[in-house]
Amino acid sequence: MAESSAPVLPSATAHEVIDPHSYAAWDPLLDTFDRLREETPVVRIEPDEEGLFEPFWLVTRYDDVMRMSKDNATFLNNPRPVVFSLNAAIEFSRQATGSNMLVDSLVVFDAPIHPKYRRLTQKWFMPRNLARLEGEIRNLAKRTVDRLVESGPQGDFCKLVSAPYPLHVVMQILGVPEEDEPRMLMLTQQMFGGQDADLSGSGMDNMTPEQVLELVAGAVRSFEHYFAEIARARRANPTEDVASVIANAEVDGQLLPERDMAGYYIIVATAGHDTTSASTAGAMQALAQDPEQWARVRADRSLLPGIVEEAIRWTTPVQHFMRTAAEDTELGGQKIAKGDWLMMSYVAANHDPAQFENPRRFDAARSPNRHLAFGAGAHQCLGLHLARLEMRILFEELLDRIETVELAGEPQRSVSTFVGGLKTLPLRITVAGEKT
Ligand code: HEM
């Protein structure tokens, strides 16, 4: 347990940090993080009388989040949830699966299991292997840009481009045929979109917490059945996709148990699209807000990698992860006890002025840009090279075809504490070579 002298966040601020709506409002939350980094960079969040969640520490400074990410022996992913969870959700998982999380996957394992599982696909996700996919990804990007152009001079970039494109890419690498993509999207949204009424697509806002949990568990079961079929097919006829690697992978001489295999598919299926959608939409927002920048990068494509990287920092699509202390330790001047639960706020860390000058500014030339949007250490994002590649290829295609972009309305952010970003981005475009 924490020392009694530990700073405790006043309940209004604590509520702000765990309220998904704060992440939709964004700037006031960044103001709060600025204040906390200065005053109480490692601070307790205690539940109110209702006791809806377990107490935890909120960590807001870049250096502290970096240290936690890299010290995987002291800060464990297991056994508490890796994402901020209400007690009801944890209890539901325990009853359904015997584990604190509904799905066991890379993000839940620690050493010695984690490195064994991670090694199975690590090479597949490296740039050398991904280079083989460039042609396929470019085709998906071209088709996506075609649809944007065909839809006319004004439209929602999220709906037309940034939501569908990363989903197509992930489904392609998992061998999911295009006709099944809507079902996969619905299942992902049921698993993660529950906090945002517009995104859950299932009227979750009108459901009781029990009904929501049932729906989420049902989504997990559907995923498991679906991917068990894919695995059977890939064992019979392996291809070069990551689905085949997972289906045929062995740990200690054995194929993966069903549940772990399903967990692997589910983490790749779900981790790879909403995240990249958010950074892609953020990149476009930044460029549309400053039309001269669009013209500059059209003329000089060497600016693109900087834009992609800065968009990933600026948007920080994965807003936090949780860790559990394996032993007593100290962090940011506070005594952390074995078993304590801690929230690494990537949003706060990526806006730490001690690391990033003028952090709220989108600076395509920022260098160095050692952001924490992909995490760090043993669990650092497995798909980071794929995310960068997808974004670069998409923007190359967009820059070729679109002459000018500007905002056509106020963009809206999603309501979510975990993965978040723009859910609408109204744009006006002109197409290269066409008279307006
Ligand atoms: C801009 C896009 C993305 C962002 C911001 C992002 C962010 C993250 C973060 C913060 C973590 C946890 C890191 C940690 O605990 O230290 C993570 C883990 C992971 N990501 Fe990503 N991700 C993105 C795209 C992708 C893509 C495209 C894929 C794959 C298709 C992917 C697959 C994974 C997997 C499998 C893990 C778990 C790794 C492990 O625990 O060993 N991500 N990602």
Q: Looking at ligand 1, which atom is closest to the CA of residue 377?
A: 16
Within a 13 Å sphere around the CA of 116, how many CA atoms are in the beta-carbon half?
14
Contacts of 57 (CB under 8 A, 6+ apart): 2, 42, 43, 44, 45, 331, 334, 336, 340, 341, 342, 343
Cβ of 272 below 6 Å from ligand 1: yes
Alpha helix ranges (H) inside 316-436: 346-349, 384-401
- The predicted model scores a pTM of 0.96
pLDDT (tens digit per residue) in 46-77: 998 888 999 999 999 999 999 999 999 999 99
CA distance 82 to 64: 17
Q: State the pLDDT at residue 430.
A: 97
SS (H, E, C) 29-42: HHHHHHHHHHHCCE
Ligand 1 centroid to residue 131 C-alpha, Å: 19
Q: Which of 203, 188, 176, 197 is nearest to 277 (CA)?
A: 188
* Residue 105 in contact with ligand 1 by CB distance below 6 A: no
Measured in Å, residue 355 CA sits from the centre of ligand 1 at 22
276 Cα: distance to centroid of ligand 1 (angstroms): 10
Q: Domain segments of the chain: what residues? A: 11-431
Ligand 1 center to residue 382 CA distance, Å? Answer: 5
Q: What is the pLDDT of residue 92?
A: 80
Interval 257-272: pLDDT, tens: 988 999 999 999 889 9
Superfamily of domain covering 11-431: Cytochrome P450 (1.10.630.10)
Kindly state if the Cβ of 219 falls inside 6 Å of ligand 1: no
Out of 119-133, 146-160, 209-223, 315-329, which region has the weakest mean confidence (pLDDT)? 209-223
The CB of 171 under 6 Å from ligand 1? The reply is no
Distance CA(393)–CA(142), nearest Å, equals 9
- Residue written as tokens 């809507």? 182
Ligand 1 contact via 269 beta carbon (within 6 Å):
no
Residue 433: C-alpha distances to residues 284, 293, 400, 401 (Å): 21, 19, 10, 8
Does the pLDDT at position 199 exceed 80? no
Q: Which residue has the higher pLDDT, 223 or 34?
A: 34
Give distance in angstroms: CA of 392 to centre of ligand 1: 17
Q: What is the pLDDT of residue 204?
A: 61
- Return the C-alpha torsion angle 154, 155, 156, 158, nearest 10: -100
Encode pLDDT of 204-237 as tens digits. 666 777 777 788 888 888 888 999 999 999 999 9
Ligand 1 atom at minimum distance from 77 CA:
15
Closest by Cα among 189, 199, 272 to 424: 199
What was the pLDDT predicted at 193?
57
